Structure 1
Amino acid sequence: MALAPRVPFQCLSAVEAAALIRAEADLTLFDVRDLHSYQQEHLDGAMHLAEDRVPLWVGRLEKSAPVLVYCYHGNSSKTFAQMFSDFRFARVYSVDGGYRPLASALAAPAAEETPSDSASAALAGFLADWHYPAGELDARGPHGLTPLMRAALLGRGEIVHELLALGADLHARNDDGNTALWLACVSRDAALVQALIDAGSELDNRNDAGATALMYTASSDRPQLLELLLEAGADPQVRNFDDLRAVELAASTACLKLLRHTAD
């Protein structure tokens, strides 16, 4: 008898993952950070999982039950989620951004307790100034920019924080395939870039040219932002559609030094 087709795992933002944890009583939650980090702190109900223990859990869990995996920044969790997906688990999720953003999202009020019409006067004015419909947090403006993207591009940290708290889509892409994280790098606002990383931005999103935010910061001589992305776990080995990596696009000695370990 033929095996059922494998269902790909899904990546969730921290807010989406927190909502899933609240809603699914039979959810199995795994922490795949190192054991020492797990012992120091972990989410309530999370079980530590190492690679050699995956077969044990594969045999123990119902394949129809949801499985959610988190790590430090959302990279290793994808590897573990793929393992469960390979074993035909139907509902497997990896948390973008990892432990910290997920812990923060769980500590915050549930999304339904924060109505979308509770925008501050500053946010309401921002939406009006840029001709976004009132209350439509993910509306598209010129060039496909959502309010979150526009605020990130302008370095409006207070607007970005409020939009994130209200549930604006962190992973939306503009007409060029860029997310708010890329646009925050354009603004050169390190605190804003870090906030979007902490919120669970996809570090290795590739735009329509195959370029990542890491490549952009390297090619535009933004070493401080480049360092932030590397520390968060951005992959320096990703190649764009011209087959170039960040190290090959570095525009300054400072950027090249940060990427020299990736040159081989």
Structure 2
Amino acid sequence: MTSAERAAYQCLSAVDAASLILAEPEITLFDVRDLHSYRQEHLERAMHLSEDRVPLWVGRLPKDAPVLIYCYHGNASKTYAQMFSDFRFRRVYSVDGGYRPLAIALNGPARVSGTDGSAELGAFLAEWTFDPADLNAPRQHGLTPLMRAALQGQREIAGELLALGVDIHARNDDGNTALWLACVSRDRGLVQDLIDAGIELDNRNDAGSTALMYTASSDRPELLQLLLEAGADPHVRNFDEMRAVELSASRACLKLLRHTAD
């Protein structure tokens, strides 16, 4: 099949993809992120798809069935979309920007207000020019108020934000959550607060790295141990195929991870 004979897939913005999903409730949705991320959260009705299962679905779905595919940021989904197009599926869509923008476009970001919060919270929001009417709205570098409080090591402010119900799963421009940023500030209590709040332990940023990898590579054994005890996965690999044990910057970190070396 020449490139000219290939059926073309379409790339859709998150907003257009959300409109399509709402307009066509029978559309087939595929999530091509790793299985751990899929199990953590995914769109309703979306099925996990790996490359080895593409032939199964190619043989099962009618060629005129609409298929929409999303990944982390909109790159891998194009590869999968081309696979379906090569098998002459006529309506195949890849989502630009990936899962997070699509989920927000479908569900809308929760608006959590801090207008009735403490004076300290109000001063913090003003200092960093956050919108007190929407505590999930990001500012510089994609940081939300919770992320900023974590980065600055302001545990009491972070605690108040958590009590108000802010989104603990939000990611900044590098794909990091508040957990990573709390590890940067080295605030053990704040890290524990985020763990207790149910933050995802194994979120992978845009380099495929987790907070566990960061604590190992930056010589933070006390936080490394805390994450391990909470259930963080030491076997996750970044996009360079490195695990936390291989990134360890000190003997203390290596000792905590020695059981994962094999």
TM-score by shorter chain over 0.5: yes
Match among 203, 206, 213 for residue 204 of structure 2:
206
Residue 185 of structure 2 aligns with which residue?
187
Matches within 5 A, 1:168-183: 168-183=166-181
Q: Which has the larger radius of gyration?
A: 2
Q: Equivalences for 1:211-250 in 2 at 5 Å?
A: 211-250=209-248
Distance in 1 (CA, whole Å) between partners of 2:224 and 2:172 is 22
The amino acid across from 1:256 in the alignment is L
Distance 1:257 1:171, change over 3 A: same
Select the residue among 256, 259, 262 that pairs with 2:254. 256
Segments of 5+ residues of structure 2 without an aligned counterpart are 1-26, 32-37, 42-111
Question: What is the one-letter code of the residue matched to 2:187?
Answer: D
RMSD value, Cα? 2.3
Q: SS at 1:128's partner residue? A: helix
Alpha-carbon displacement from aligned partner over 1:164-200 (angstroms, at most 9, x marks no partner) = 1111110000000000000000000101101100100
1:135, distance to aligned residue in structure 2 (A): 2.3
Deviation at 1:133, TM superposition (A): 1.6
Write the distance in 2 (CA, Å) between the matches of 1:258 and 1:10.
Answer: 27
* Corresponding residue for residue 148 of structure 1: 146
Any idea what SS the aligned residue of 2:161 has? helix
* 8 Å contact kept, 2:215–2:223: yes
> What amino acid does structure 2 have at the position aligned with 1:177?
G
Superposition pairs for residues 95-174 of structure 1, below 5 Å? 116-174=114-172
The letter of the residue matching 2:169 is H
Q: Output the amino acid matched with 2:125.
A: L
Aligned residue number for residue 95 of structure 1: none
Give the number of equivalent residue pairs: 162
Q: Distance in 2 between matches of 1:217 and 1:207?
A: 14
Q: What fraction of aligned residue pairs are identical, expressed as a percent? A: 70
Matches within 5 A, 1:68-87: none
CA shift, 1:136, in A, is 1.6
Is the 2:171–2:177 contact (alpha carbons within 8 Å) kept by the matching residues of 1? Answer: yes
Q: Is contact 2:208–2:238 with CA below 8 Å preserved after alignment?
A: yes
Shift in Å at residue 5 of structure 1?
6.8
Q: Which has the higher contact order (CA 8 A, sep 6+)?
A: 1
Distance in 2 separating the partners of 1:116 and 1:133: 9
